[in-house]
Amino acid sequence: MGIFDFATNTVSGSNKVKDECIIAFKVYDACRQQDCLDPSVLGASRAAVNTTYCGISVDAGEVITPPSNAAAVSVGNVAVERVVIVSKTQSPFRVGYWDIDLKYVFAYTLTFRDINGGALCSVPAQSVYNKTITLFGSVTTESSISTDLLTSTGNTIDVNADPFVYVESKAVALKAELSYGCCCGNNDNAESVSVTIGLFTIIKLFRLVNLLVESKGFCIPEECTNTGGINVCDDFDNLDFPMDVFAPPQKREFLAGISSNIPNDNTDNDSDCSCGCSSGGCGCTCRR
Protein backbone atom coordinates (compact mmCIF):
# COMPACT_ATOMS: atom_id res chain seq x y z
CA MET A 1 0.00 0.00 0.00
CA GLY A 2 2.99 2.31 -0.08
CA ILE A 3 4.19 4.30 2.87
CA PHE A 4 0.76 4.55 4.55
CA ASP A 5 -1.19 1.62 5.90
CA PHE A 6 -4.75 2.99 5.76
CA ALA A 7 -6.22 -0.08 7.41
CA THR A 8 -4.47 0.63 10.69
CA ASN A 9 -3.78 4.37 10.38
CA THR A 10 -0.08 3.80 11.07
CA VAL A 11 3.12 4.39 9.17
CA SER A 12 4.83 1.29 7.82
CA GLY A 13 7.73 0.50 10.10
CA SER A 14 6.58 3.03 12.70
CA ASN A 15 7.27 0.54 15.46
CA LYS A 16 10.98 0.88 14.71
CA VAL A 17 12.70 3.68 16.59
CA LYS A 18 14.96 5.81 14.41
CA ASP A 19 16.97 8.99 14.75
CA GLU A 20 15.50 12.22 13.36
CA CYS A 21 17.01 15.70 13.12
CA ILE A 22 14.51 18.40 14.07
CA ILE A 23 14.54 22.17 14.54
CA ALA A 24 13.15 22.94 17.98
CA PHE A 25 12.70 25.68 20.56
CA LYS A 26 14.86 24.28 23.37
CA VAL A 27 14.31 25.67 26.86
CA TYR A 28 17.66 26.35 28.51
CA ASP A 29 16.32 27.57 31.85
CA ALA A 30 12.97 28.40 33.45
CA CYS A 31 11.50 29.45 36.77
CA ARG A 32 8.12 30.20 38.30
CA GLN A 33 7.19 32.79 40.89
CA GLN A 34 4.18 33.80 42.95
CA ASP A 35 4.07 37.48 43.95
CA CYS A 36 1.58 39.35 46.11
CA LEU A 37 1.75 42.90 44.78
CA ASP A 38 0.44 45.38 47.34
CA PRO A 39 0.09 49.17 47.00
CA SER A 40 3.68 49.71 48.12
CA VAL A 41 4.73 47.95 44.89
CA LEU A 42 1.97 49.00 42.48
CA GLY A 43 1.35 52.53 43.69
CA ALA A 44 -1.96 54.31 43.01
CA SER A 45 -4.28 53.04 40.28
CA ARG A 46 -4.09 54.98 37.02
CA ALA A 47 -6.55 55.47 34.17
CA ALA A 48 -6.16 53.02 31.30
CA VAL A 49 -7.76 55.35 28.72
CA ASN A 50 -9.01 58.92 28.36
CA THR A 51 -12.43 58.77 29.94
CA THR A 52 -15.02 60.40 32.21
CA TYR A 53 -16.49 58.73 35.31
CA CYS A 54 -18.91 60.21 37.86
CA GLY A 55 -18.43 63.55 36.12
CA ILE A 56 -14.63 63.43 36.55
CA SER A 57 -12.46 63.63 33.42
CA VAL A 58 -9.14 61.82 33.40
CA ASP A 59 -6.42 61.18 30.82
CA ALA A 60 -4.73 57.84 30.30
CA GLY A 61 -1.91 57.38 32.80
CA GLU A 62 -3.24 59.87 35.36
CA VAL A 63 -3.97 58.84 38.94
CA ILE A 64 -7.65 58.03 39.43
CA THR A 65 -9.36 60.28 41.98
CA PRO A 66 -12.42 58.80 43.72
CA PRO A 67 -15.68 60.81 43.58
CA SER A 68 -16.45 62.80 46.71
CA ASN A 69 -19.42 60.59 47.65
CA ALA A 70 -17.53 57.29 47.28
CA ALA A 71 -17.45 55.24 50.47
CA ALA A 72 -15.83 52.12 49.01
CA VAL A 73 -14.36 50.69 45.81
CA SER A 74 -14.22 47.20 44.28
CA VAL A 75 -11.97 45.74 41.59
CA GLY A 76 -12.89 43.27 38.85
CA ASN A 77 -11.89 41.86 35.46
CA VAL A 78 -8.21 41.93 36.33
CA ALA A 79 -5.86 40.57 33.67
CA VAL A 80 -2.29 40.83 32.47
CA GLU A 81 -2.81 43.10 29.49
CA ARG A 82 0.74 42.69 28.23
CA VAL A 83 4.29 41.91 29.32
CA VAL A 84 7.03 44.14 27.93
CA ILE A 85 10.56 42.74 27.70
CA VAL A 86 12.39 45.91 28.68
CA SER A 87 15.91 44.53 28.43
CA LYS A 88 17.87 41.28 28.13
CA THR A 89 21.59 41.47 28.90
CA GLN A 90 24.36 39.07 29.81
CA SER A 91 24.99 38.94 33.52
CA PRO A 92 28.27 40.64 34.43
CA PHE A 93 28.78 38.24 37.32
CA ARG A 94 27.84 34.79 35.95
CA VAL A 95 28.94 33.46 32.57
CA GLY A 96 26.07 32.07 30.50
CA TYR A 97 23.39 33.82 32.59
CA TRP A 98 21.13 36.62 31.43
CA ASP A 99 19.44 39.43 33.36
CA ILE A 100 15.88 39.99 32.13
CA ASP A 101 13.88 43.11 32.96
CA LEU A 102 10.13 42.70 32.50
CA LYS A 103 7.22 45.13 32.84
CA TYR A 104 3.81 43.65 33.61
CA VAL A 105 0.84 45.86 32.74
CA PHE A 106 -2.36 44.92 34.61
CA ALA A 107 -5.77 46.03 33.34
CA TYR A 108 -8.88 46.00 35.54
CA THR A 109 -12.12 47.81 36.31
CA LEU A 110 -12.72 49.92 39.41
CA THR A 111 -16.30 50.40 40.62
CA PHE A 112 -17.00 53.13 43.16
CA ARG A 113 -19.81 52.55 45.66
CA ASP A 114 -21.81 54.79 47.97
CA ILE A 115 -22.35 54.32 51.70
CA ASN A 116 -25.14 51.81 51.02
CA GLY A 117 -23.05 49.70 48.66
CA GLY A 118 -24.72 50.94 45.51
CA ALA A 119 -22.58 51.36 42.39
CA LEU A 120 -21.83 54.98 41.50
CA CYS A 121 -19.70 54.52 38.38
CA SER A 122 -16.90 52.42 36.93
CA VAL A 123 -13.60 53.32 35.30
CA PRO A 124 -11.03 51.21 33.39
CA ALA A 125 -7.74 51.26 35.28
CA GLN A 126 -4.25 49.85 35.11
CA SER A 127 -1.14 49.25 37.21
CA VAL A 128 2.46 48.47 36.29
CA TYR A 129 4.92 46.09 37.93
CA ASN A 130 8.62 45.82 37.05
CA LYS A 131 10.42 42.54 37.63
CA THR A 132 14.04 41.43 37.17
CA ILE A 133 15.04 37.77 36.91
CA THR A 134 18.31 35.98 36.07
CA LEU A 135 18.25 32.74 34.07
CA PHE A 136 20.77 30.57 32.23
CA GLY A 137 20.68 31.13 28.46
CA SER A 138 24.14 29.87 27.48
CA VAL A 139 26.82 31.90 25.73
CA THR A 140 26.56 33.82 22.48
CA THR A 141 27.95 32.74 19.12
CA GLU A 142 28.68 34.61 15.90
CA SER A 143 26.41 32.58 13.60
CA SER A 144 23.01 33.61 12.27
CA ILE A 145 20.14 31.92 10.44
CA SER A 146 18.19 33.11 7.39
CA THR A 147 14.71 31.71 6.75
CA ASP A 148 11.58 32.52 4.75
CA LEU A 149 9.37 31.15 7.51
CA LEU A 150 8.47 34.63 8.74
CA THR A 151 8.51 36.50 5.42
CA SER A 152 8.28 35.32 1.82
CA THR A 153 11.53 37.10 0.91
CA GLY A 154 13.56 35.62 3.72
CA ASN A 155 14.80 37.09 6.95
CA THR A 156 18.00 36.83 8.96
CA ILE A 157 17.61 36.05 12.63
CA ASP A 158 20.43 36.21 15.12
CA VAL A 159 19.04 33.17 16.89
CA ASN A 160 22.40 32.10 18.21
CA ALA A 161 23.32 35.51 19.61
CA ASP A 162 20.76 35.98 22.38
CA PRO A 163 18.25 33.53 23.86
CA PHE A 164 14.58 34.33 23.46
CA VAL A 165 12.31 35.17 26.41
CA TYR A 166 8.98 33.41 26.97
CA VAL A 167 6.58 34.60 29.70
CA GLU A 168 3.33 33.10 30.92
CA SER A 169 1.29 34.93 33.56
CA LYS A 170 -1.99 34.97 35.46
CA ALA A 171 -3.27 37.84 37.62
CA VAL A 172 -5.80 37.63 40.46
CA ALA A 173 -7.55 40.60 42.12
CA LEU A 174 -7.08 40.42 45.89
CA LYS A 175 -8.13 43.78 47.32
CA ALA A 176 -9.10 47.36 46.50
CA GLU A 177 -9.49 50.27 48.88
CA LEU A 178 -9.73 54.04 48.97
CA SER A 179 -6.55 55.83 50.01
CA TYR A 180 -6.75 58.93 52.17
CA GLY A 181 -3.05 59.73 52.38
CA CYS A 182 -1.98 61.22 55.70
CA CYS A 183 -5.60 62.12 56.52
CA CYS A 184 -6.81 58.52 56.91
CA GLY A 185 -9.56 58.32 59.50
CA ASN A 186 -10.82 61.85 58.99
CA ASN A 187 -13.84 62.84 56.89
CA ASP A 188 -11.70 64.21 54.05
CA ASN A 189 -12.26 62.86 50.55
CA ALA A 190 -10.16 59.94 49.32
CA GLU A 191 -7.16 60.92 47.22
CA SER A 192 -6.63 57.74 45.20
CA VAL A 193 -7.30 54.01 44.92
CA SER A 194 -4.94 51.26 46.03
CA VAL A 195 -5.20 47.68 44.75
CA THR A 196 -3.48 44.42 45.67
CA ILE A 197 -2.93 41.91 42.85
CA GLY A 198 -1.67 38.33 43.00
CA LEU A 199 0.64 37.36 40.14
CA PHE A 200 1.55 33.85 39.01
CA THR A 201 4.25 33.84 36.35
CA ILE A 202 6.54 31.42 34.50
CA ILE A 203 9.60 32.76 32.69
CA LYS A 204 11.73 30.78 30.25
CA LEU A 205 14.83 31.33 28.13
CA PHE A 206 14.94 29.31 24.89
CA ARG A 207 16.93 29.03 21.68
CA LEU A 208 16.23 27.72 18.18
CA VAL A 209 18.45 24.64 17.86
CA ASN A 210 18.90 21.42 15.89
CA LEU A 211 18.19 18.32 17.94
CA LEU A 212 18.70 14.63 17.23
CA VAL A 213 15.75 12.76 18.72
CA GLU A 214 14.35 9.24 18.64
CA SER A 215 11.27 8.96 16.45
CA LYS A 216 8.68 6.40 15.47
CA GLY A 217 7.65 8.31 12.36
CA PHE A 218 4.99 10.86 11.50
CA CYS A 219 1.80 11.35 13.50
CA ILE A 220 -1.19 10.14 11.47
CA PRO A 221 -4.49 11.63 12.74
CA GLU A 222 -7.58 9.54 13.27
CA GLU A 223 -10.44 9.75 10.77
CA CYS A 224 -12.78 12.69 11.39
CA THR A 225 -16.10 11.86 13.02
CA ASN A 226 -19.25 13.87 13.77
CA THR A 227 -18.68 16.05 10.72
CA GLY A 228 -22.33 17.07 10.41
CA GLY A 229 -25.96 16.04 10.63
CA ILE A 230 -26.03 16.19 14.44
CA ASN A 231 -29.49 16.46 15.95
CA VAL A 232 -29.05 19.00 18.73
CA CYS A 233 -32.38 18.08 20.31
CA ASP A 234 -31.32 14.44 20.65
CA ASP A 235 -28.09 15.54 22.33
CA PHE A 236 -30.01 17.86 24.65
CA ASP A 237 -32.55 15.20 25.61
CA ASN A 238 -29.72 12.86 26.62
CA LEU A 239 -28.19 15.35 29.05
CA ASP A 240 -28.67 14.86 32.80
CA PHE A 241 -30.97 17.44 34.31
CA PRO A 242 -28.78 20.00 36.14
CA MET A 243 -30.57 20.03 39.48
CA ASP A 244 -27.57 21.70 41.12
CA VAL A 245 -28.36 24.83 39.10
CA PHE A 246 -31.67 25.13 40.91
CA ALA A 247 -30.59 23.67 44.26
CA PRO A 248 -26.84 24.11 44.79
CA PRO A 249 -25.19 21.25 46.73
CA GLN A 250 -24.41 21.75 50.39
CA LYS A 251 -20.84 21.89 51.68
CA ARG A 252 -20.45 18.17 52.33
CA GLU A 253 -21.68 17.10 48.91
CA PHE A 254 -19.77 19.88 47.16
CA LEU A 255 -16.42 18.90 48.71
CA ALA A 256 -17.10 15.26 47.84
CA GLY A 257 -17.76 16.17 44.22
CA ILE A 258 -21.29 14.78 44.19
CA SER A 259 -24.86 16.03 44.21
CA SER A 260 -27.46 15.13 46.82
CA ASN A 261 -30.32 16.62 44.83
CA ILE A 262 -31.12 13.62 42.63
CA PRO A 263 -31.78 10.31 44.44
CA ASN A 264 -29.50 7.49 43.29
CA ASP A 265 -31.04 4.20 42.26
CA ASN A 266 -28.44 2.26 44.22
CA THR A 267 -28.82 3.97 47.60
CA ASP A 268 -31.24 1.31 48.86
CA ASN A 269 -29.09 -1.62 47.74
CA ASP A 270 -27.57 -3.21 50.86
CA SER A 271 -24.75 -4.77 48.84
CA ASP A 272 -23.69 -1.48 47.22
CA CYS A 273 -21.90 1.01 49.46
CA SER A 274 -20.58 3.28 46.73
CA CYS A 275 -23.78 5.35 46.62
CA GLY A 276 -23.62 5.31 42.86
CA CYS A 277 -20.08 6.72 42.79
CA SER A 278 -17.16 5.31 40.90
CA SER A 279 -15.35 2.30 42.30
CA GLY A 280 -13.97 3.02 45.74
CA GLY A 281 -16.81 5.39 46.58
CA CYS A 282 -16.52 9.14 47.06
CA GLY A 283 -16.90 9.59 50.78
CA CYS A 284 -20.68 9.38 51.02
CA THR A 285 -22.63 7.32 53.55
CA CYS A 286 -24.76 4.51 52.20
CA ARG A 287 -28.40 4.23 53.13
CA ARG A 288 -29.43 0.89 54.60
**Amino acid 1: pLDDT:** 40
State residue 280's pLDDT score: 44
Instruction: Kindly report the pTM of this predicted structure.
Output: 0.70
Main-chain phi, psi angles of 41, to 5 degrees: -100, -45
Ranges of beta strands (E only) in 6-49 are: 10-11, 18-37, 46-47
Report how far residue 151's alpha carbon sits from residue 158's, in angstroms, rounded to the nearest whole number: 15
The phi, psi pair for 109, rounded to 5°, reads -120, 130
pLDDT in tens, 226-237: 556 666 677 777
Answer for the pair 120, 140: CB distance below 8 angstroms, yes or no. Answer: no
At residue 252, φ and ψ (nearest 5 deg) are -65, -45
pLDDT in tens, 90-129: 988 889 899 999 999 999 999 999 999 899 999 999 999 9
Task: Name the helix (H) or strand (E) containing 228.
Answer: none
Beta bridge partners of 132: 101
CA separation for the pair 262, 29 (Å, rounded): 51
